[in-house]
Structure 1
Amino acid sequence: MAIEKEIKLALPGDPRDAVAFFERTSGQPGVAKTVSNAYFDTPDCLLAARRMALRLRQIGGAWRQTLKTSGDAHDGLHVRHEWELPVQGPALEIESLLAECDDAAARAALTEAAPRLERLFSTDFVRTAWLLEADDSRFEAVVDVGEIHAARTSGGEAHPQRAPICEIEVELLEGNDDALRAFAERVVAALPGASRADVSKAERGYLLVRGHR
């Protein structure tokens, strides 16, 4: 089990300003990749009710599955458990994920949900990433720009729902939380309008499934 720590910032302005900031800070251009994610749950959203999210991600020709807990989010800092494994292709491999998951409650919820899992929503975005160092700590900073897609069903008909993605994530790879917070403050100071965001992409996707932006 890994503990993921990251600060998420919403970007109301032009994402090119954020790209320019990280290029100046790192002295290097970012690495851009197209990221496609499908999120799975039961029709009655059992995993969401247990504060979990199950994702299948494609980057290039590689596929990975991830189970995350919602954890805690405060003032933009997200701290959560996650289990992530490579998979052979565009399908979940639940047995291997259950074998990796070392939290009894999470494993029980996934076991209960497994027979009824279906794709509920997706997130598709271009991620531009940099590796950075500050205050004896290492970070990965990314700018994500794209969309969340979901389909609500009413009367047997699908009603597509969409919401934009335009945000920054700064993940702590090595070091301490204070250094992460200090670096995020630098980002906010450099990008007028950037604000800390406590709602994850997965949580926004579930809001779309329920018919709310």
Structure 2
Amino acid sequence: MGIEREIKLALPPDRADAADRFFTGIAGSPGRDVPLVNIYFDTASLALAGAKIALRLRKTPEGWLQTLKAAGTAAGGLHSRHEWETPVAKDALELDTLAAACDDETALATLRGVAGDLGERFRTTFVRRLWRLSFDGAPIEAAIDRGEVTATVGGQTRREAISEIELELLQGDERALHALADRLSAAVSGLTPEDINKAQRGYRLCAR
């Protein structure tokens, strides 16, 4: 089990270039573009969402990953959640493999209880521009995500744009994460804390 600690900031589209220059200046090199497709699964009644659990498949340039995220917190843009991730051979869930990695009995019981009723509910498709930084002695992954969330409901596709920054603490003191966010906000105007993650946006599209 890992605990994901990251700060999310809503990024006005016209400030993306300024954010890019900021991260490139700190890293000393341009960011690397990574195309990502995420498929989120739940029951028709959204039982996993009701238990504050997210289950997804992610397509990366290296292959497919499956991830289970359990209930967490979000305040002022800082998100903390338990997560478990394992590689899979193709675009299909391997729940037994995921269950073997998960050490949260509550989340595991919920997942097993709905396993036969899971289906795709929405997708996020975006390009992640990625930097690995060292800031105040802590390794941090900085990303600019731009793309969209899509959900097909009643035969119609609903869409919502993605334009945000993620700062993930890989190791070390959380104060370094906040210090980087403060410096970024001073350098790039218009950023605001984002307490709604991509999965929550997808569920919002499904429900409205």
TM-score tier after normalising by the smaller chain length: over 0.9
Q: Partners in 2 of 1:138 and 1:79 — Cα distance?
A: 17
Q: Partners in 1 of 2:69 and 2:62 — Cα distance?
A: 23
1:82 maps to 83
Structural mapping, 1:35-74, within 5 Å: 35-74=36-75
Q: Which runs of 4+ in 1 moved over 2 A?
A: none
Q: Partners in 1 of 2:132 and 2:71 — Cα distance?
A: 25
Structural mapping, 1:84-163, within 5 Å: 84-153=85-154, 158-163=155-160
Give 3-state SS (helix, strand or coil) of 1:174's partner: coil
* RMSD (Å) for aligned C-alpha atoms: 0.8
> Are the aligned partners of 1:139 and 1:171 in contact in 2 as well (CA < 8 Å)?
yes
2:186 maps to 189
> TM-score of the superposition, structure 2-length normalised?
0.97
Q: Partners in 2 of 1:113 and 1:190 — Cα distance?
A: 46
Letter in 1 for 2:2: A
1:164 maps to 161
Instruction: Give ranges in structure 1 of 5+ residues lacking alignment.
Output: none
* CA apart distance, 1:13: 3.3
Q: Partners in 2 of 1:17 and 1:161 — Cα distance?
A: 30
2:7 maps to 7
* CA apart distance, 1:70: 3.4
Q: Partners in 1 of 2:190 and 2:20 — Cα distance?
A: 15
Does structure 1 residue 202 correspond to structure 2 residue 199?
A: yes
> Are the aligned partners of 1:13 and 1:193 in contact in 2 as well (CA < 8 Å)?
no
Q: Partners in 2 of 1:169 and 1:116 — Cα distance?
A: 32
Q: Partners in 2 of 1:108 and 1:174 — Cα distance?
A: 30
Q: Partners in 2 of 1:98 and 1:17 — Cα distance?
A: 42
Q: Partners in 2 of 1:113 and 1:188 — Cα distance?
A: 42
Aligned residues: 207
Letter in 1 for 2:163: C
> TM-score of the superposition, structure 1-length normalised?
0.95
Give 3-state SS (helix, strand or coil) of 2:91's partner: coil
1:14-65 alpha-carbon deviations (Å, 9 max, x no partner) = 2222112111111101010100000000000010000010010001240000
